[in-house]
Amino acid sequence: MEEAVIKIGCTNRSSELVGPREGSTPTQPSDDHKTVSNRLISTVYSGPTIVDIQKALFATGSYASVEPGNICRGVGKEREMNKGESKYTLKMKCNGNGVADDGYRWRKYGQKIIKNNPNRRSYYKCSPRCGAKKQVEISLEDPTLIITYEGLYLHFSFPNFFSGQSHADSPAGKKLKTREEEKPHKLDDRQKQYGPVP
DNA sequence: CGAGTTTGACCAGCGC
DNA sequence: GCGCTGGTCAAACTCG
């Protein structure tokens, strides 16, 4: 089992990127990034690729960048590593609502208060139940969303991953946007859920 | 009414 | 063996 750590700068509110490499434009993933990520994906992961998530985040107003130096082998708990499952972690700057819209549809199935971290970790499964999972938590030291993807995504319900277009026009995208972004009281709940967003 | 969220309970792995 | 911790389940609840 191997895990990759990617840092993503989410530019919904802040123009600050998390460690974009020099020479790479903040508007599109560079070829180097694609090469590295594709190589990584081809060897460790057969679900949604990092490039796919890059595209989705880019299409939804966020920018994904892959830092080869942050692609770690064997990072994570050994218990998870011993499962022999593919997993990779994304780090992204918190945006206004503290959520990361990666274009997939996720269904929350639990949350836990993690030791040494006042922010709760949330657990999501793929809504159409394909086995894909992700964990979302806020880093203790900085306002960074840590998203851990796990498992295989066996379908692609959003066009983002192929066309690069925003899912806002798709029915599912509308529903996702409605639930995630257009309900102020829900945002309050989410802030309660994730903790205060700086 | 269906889909998603919340939340307490349960289970399994790990360290002591 | 026991306690702690993280991950998952499932019933109740909310919302469109």
Residue A198, Cβ density class (10 Å: 0-12 exposed, 13-18 middle, ≥19 buried): exposed
- The reply to whether A129 Cβ lies less than 7 angstroms from strand C is no
Domains in chain A, ordered, with CATH?
A: 85-94+105-155 (2.20.25.80)
Q: Which nucleotides of C are covered by protein (CB under 7 A)?
A: 4-10, 15-16
For chain B, which bases have at least one atom within 7 A of a protein Cβ? Answer: 3-9, 13-15
Tell me the backbone φ, ψ of residue A24, rounded to 5 degrees.
-105, 135
Residues 6+ apart with CB under 8 A from A106: A124, A125, A126, A127, A134
Q: Are A84 and A150 in contact (CB under 8 A)?
A: no
CA A30/CA A151 separation, integer angstroms: 26
- State which protein residues have CB closer than 7 Å to strand B: A 78-79, 82, 105-112, 122, 127, 179-180, 186, 189-190, 193
How far does the CA of A158 sit from the C1' of C12, in Å? 31
pLDDT tens, position by position, A24-53 = 333 343 444 444 444 443 444 444 555 666
d(CA A104, CA A114): 25
Q: DSSP per residue over chain A, as a string?
A: --EEEEEEE-TTT----SSPPTT--TTS--HHHHHHHHHHHHHH--SS-HHHHHHHHHHTT-EE---GGG--SS-S-HHHHTTT--EEEEEEE--TTS----SS-EEEEEEEEPTT-SSEEEEEEETT-SS-EEEEEE-SSSSEEEEEEES------STHHHH---GGGSHHHHHHHHHHHS-HHHHHHHHHHH----
Mean pLDDT across A145-171 = 52
CB proximity A174–strand C (7 Å threshold):
no
SS (H, E, C) A34-51: HHHHHHHHHHHCCCCCHH
- In the predicted structure, residue A135 carries a pLDDT above the cut 80: yes
What pTM value is reported for the model? 0.60
State pLDDT tens for residues A56-103: 656 555 544 443 333 333 333 333 333 444 566 777 665 544 445 566
Is the distance between the Cβ of A110 and the closest atom of strand C smaller than 7 Å?
Answer: yes
A149 or A128, which is more confident: A149
**Region of poorest pLDDT, from A26-40, A117-131, A181-195:** A181-195
Please provide the size of chain A in residues.
Answer: 198
| Residue entry with tokens 């060897």 | A43
